[in-house]
Amino acid sequence: MSKTKKSNLFGLSGSVKDQLAQKMLEKRLKKVTEAKMQNGDVLRTRKSLQSNSKIPDEFCRFDMFPGYQQIRILEAGGKQLGVPSPFFKEHEGVAGNTTTINGHEYINFASYNYLDLCGHPEVSEAAKQAIDKYGTSASASRPVAGERPIQRELEIALAKKYEVDDCIVFVSGHATNVTTIGYLFGPKDLILHDSLIHNSVVQGGQLSGATRLPFPHNDWQALDELLFQQRKNYERVLIVIEGIYSMDGDYPDLKRFIEIKKRHKAFLMVDEAHSLGVLGEKGHGLQEQEGVDGHEVDLWMGTLSKTLASCGGYIAGEKALVEHLKYSAPGFLYSVGISPPLAASAIAALKILDREPERVESLKARGQQFLKLAKEKGLNVGSSAGLSVIPIITGSSATAGRLANACFERGINVQPIFYPAVQEGMARLRFFICSSHTEEQIEQTIDILVEEMGKF
Assess whether pLDDT exceeds 70 at residue 175.
yes
User: Distance between CA 456 and CA 451 in Å, rounded?
Assistant: 10
Per-residue confidence (pLDDT) for residue 99, from 0 to 100: 94
Residues 6+ apart with CB under 8 A from 418: 74, 397, 400, 401, 427
Nearest to 196 by CA among 414, 363, 391, 433: 391
Residue 173 CA neighbour count, 13 Å, CB half: 18
Per-residue confidence (pLDDT) for residue 3, from 0 to 100: 39
Handedness of CA 361, 364, 368, 369 (dihedral sign): positive
Mean pLDDT of the chain: 89
pLDDT tens-digit series, residues 324-344: 999 999 999 999 999 999 999
Q: What is the mean pLDDT of residues 292-320?
A: 97
pLDDT tens-digit series, residues 281-302: 999 999 999 999 999 999 999 9
Residues 6+ apart with CB under 8 A from 151: 138, 142, 169, 337, 338, 340, 343
Assess whether pLDDT exceeds 70 at residue 231.
yes
Per-residue confidence (pLDDT) for residue 444, from 0 to 100: 98
User: Radius of gyration over alpha carbons of the chain, in Å?
Assistant: 24
Q: Are 170 and 313 in contact (CB under 8 A)?
A: yes
- Cα distances (angstroms) measured from residue 95 to each of 7, 89, 110, 112, 156: 38, 12, 8, 9, 29
Per-residue confidence (pLDDT) for residue 6, from 0 to 100: 37
Q: What is the mean pLDDT of residues 429-456?
A: 95
Nearest to 270 by CA among 297, 293, 238: 297
Assess whether pLDDT exceeds 90 at residue 265.
yes
Give percent above pLDDT 90 in the chain. 73
Q: How many CB atoms lie within 10 A of CB 91?
A: 15
Helix axes 340-355, 358-376, angle to 10 degrees: 80
Q: What is the mean pLDDT of residues 163-184?
A: 98
User: Distance between CA 184 and CA 295 in Å, rounded?
Assistant: 19
- Between 182 and 58, the higher pLDDT residue: 182
pLDDT tens-digit series, residues 35-87: 555 554 444 455 555 555 678 888 888 888 888 888 788 777 777 766 777 77
Q: How many CB atoms lie within 10 A of CB 456?
A: 15
Assess whether pLDDT exceeds 60 at residue 123.
yes
pLDDT tens-digit series, residues 362-390: 999 999 999 999 999 999 999 999 999 99
User: Distance between CA 74 and CA 427 in Å, rounded?
Assistant: 14
- Between 336 and 20, the higher pLDDT residue: 336
Q: Confidence band (pLDDT; 50, 70, 90) for 25?
A: low
Give percent above pLDDT 70 in the chain. 88
Per-residue confidence (pLDDT) for residue 347, from 0 to 100: 98
Per-residue confidence (pLDDT) for residue 67, from 0 to 100: 84
Q: What is the mean pLDDT of residues 268-292?
A: 97
Q: Quick one: 222 exposed, middle or buried, by C-beta within 10 A (0-12, 13-18, 19+)?
A: middle
Per-residue confidence (pLDDT) for residue 122, from 0 to 100: 98
